[in-house]
Each structure stands twice: as structure tokens, then as C-alpha cells.
């Protein structure tokens, strides 16, 4: 089955696209569209995280749960929104922690493409969602696929930093070889939990310290 995904990922994940669960995802999405449902992000942006961050460039992974479900927000990168769209509350808190950690001024855009182009894989566990219906596609097979993505990174790369924010993301630690990679855990940046350990986690400076130690180029965490 032909899947439009960046070439290095296509090679790495080739077997997944032929598996029954992935074919079922494709069939399900087609049926949803036929039924008139609005799905985010738009079709060409579903694999944007892979497009912006080829497999051989991955140095940091930030795991989100679900794409944004309001119009114009989701564009295939976890926590990110396109230029001109107001940053949602969790992203605002991410920017506050960046300011406190690295003295990076809060930006006027929520577009994190600059991170992605430097090797920060902004991966949602589900890659699609129905408009106005959070978690609506969490049971269609995406979690199988994105768990495989994490396993491939863990098995076939070294010295990657995984930023696991909140219990959902932290459950993915079981997929990661912590002898080869660095796992940093904190509360989710949501306003409901950010004060329980996200603020003050200093994950951005810690990630860069680990990358330098491993001989990798640190990430410029400024945005825009």
C-alpha cells in the first residue's frame, strides 16, 4: 500500500504499512470522510511530524496524545499550531517554562516547525481526530503505529532524548531502551497539571545538556 510519508521513515516503517491494522486505519478514515465528518489535521498534514523530522535527524521526541480538534489548529505536529493561530493553553505553559528555563522570550507564534526541522519529533499518539471530538480516533489503530515509531527510534538510534509529559506519555517509557536514550518525565503542561511539576522541570536545558554530552548539536529552542 502506498503511503505518502518522508522517504527515510518509509524505509524504516515499511512493514507497518502492509499490516492489517494500518490498512484498517486507512479504510476507517475513508469511511469517516464519506460520512461527512471533518477530520483534523487535513489529509496532507497527517504525517507532517515525519516530513519535518526525517528518521536520521531525530534527536528529541515530544509525545502528545491527540491532535487539536478545533478549526485551524492541528497541522500534524504535537502541541504546535500554524502561524496566526493563538497558542492553546498547554503551549502557552510550554513557552512559560522555556522563558524560565532558558530566558527565551514568549514568542508571538505557536508554530513549532523550527524545532521539528532541528530534529525534534513532535509525535501525537493518535494522528487524526474528528472535529470538536477529542480522542475520537484513539481506538482506530494509531496507537499501534505510533508505538512502533517509538520502538524503531529506540532500537535503531542512540542518544535520543524523550520528553514525557503527563501520565499518558510516561506510559510510553516501557517502549524505550533507557540504557541508550535519555528519558525526562514531568507533569503535563496543561493548566490542570502544569503546577504539579511541569513548571520548573527545566527539560529544555536538560535535553541540551544530554545532547552535548552525547556529542550531538543542542536544539535552539527559540520559536519563530
Q: Given the residues 56, 66, 147, 220, select the one marked as catalytic.
A: 66
Residues 182, 204: Cα–Cα separation, whole Å: 13
Query: Cis omega (within 30 of 0) on the bond before 98?
Result: no
Q: Which single residue is written with the C-alpha cell 530566558?
A: 103
For residue 164, what are the β-bridge partners? 185
Q: Say whether 66 is catalytic.
A: yes
DSSP reduced 3-state for 34: helix
DSSP reduced 3-state for 6: coil
Q: Residue 122 in contact with residue 68, Cβ under 8 Å?
A: no
Residues with active-site annotation: 66
Amino acid at each position: 500500500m502506498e503511503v505518502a510519508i518522508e522517504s527515510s521513515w518509509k524505509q524504516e516503517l515499511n512493514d507497518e504499512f502492509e499490516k492489517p491494522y494500518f490498512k484498517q486505519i486507512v479504510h476507517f478514515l475513508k469511511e469517516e470522510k464519506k460520512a461527512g465528518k471533518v477530520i483534523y489535521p487535513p489529509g496532507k498534514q497527517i504525517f507532517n511530524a515525519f516530513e519535518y523530522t526525517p528518521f536520521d535527524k531525530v534527536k528529541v521526541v515530544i509525545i502528545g496524545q491527540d491532535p487539536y480538534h478545533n478549526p485551524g489548529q492541528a497541522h500534524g505536529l504535537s502541541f504546535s499550531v500554524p502561524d496566526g493561530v493563538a497558542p492553546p493553553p498547554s503551549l502557552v505553559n510550554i513557552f512559560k517554562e522555556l522563558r524560565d528555563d532558558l530566558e527565551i522570550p514568549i514568542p508571538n507564534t505557536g508554530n513549532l516547525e523550527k524545532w521539528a526541522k532541528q530534529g525534534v519529533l513532535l509525535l501525537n499518539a493518535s494522528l487524526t481526530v474528528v472535529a470538536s471530538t477529542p480522542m475520537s480516533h484513539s481506538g482506530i489503530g494509531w496507537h499501534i503505529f505510533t508505538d512502533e515509531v517509538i520502538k524503531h527510534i529506540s532500537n535503531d538510534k542512540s542518544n535520543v532524548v524523550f520528553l514525557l509529559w503527563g501520565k499518558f506519555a510516561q506510559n510510553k517509557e516501557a517502549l524505550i531502551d533507557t540504557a541508550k536514550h535519555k528519558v525526562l518525565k514531568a507533569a503535563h503542561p496543561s493548566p490542570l497539571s502544569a503546577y504539579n511539576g511541569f513548571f520548573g522541570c527545566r527539560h529544555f536545558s536538560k535535553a541540551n545538556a544530554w545532547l552535548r554530552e552525547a556529542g550531538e548539536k543542542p536544539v535552539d529552542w527559540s520559536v519563530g
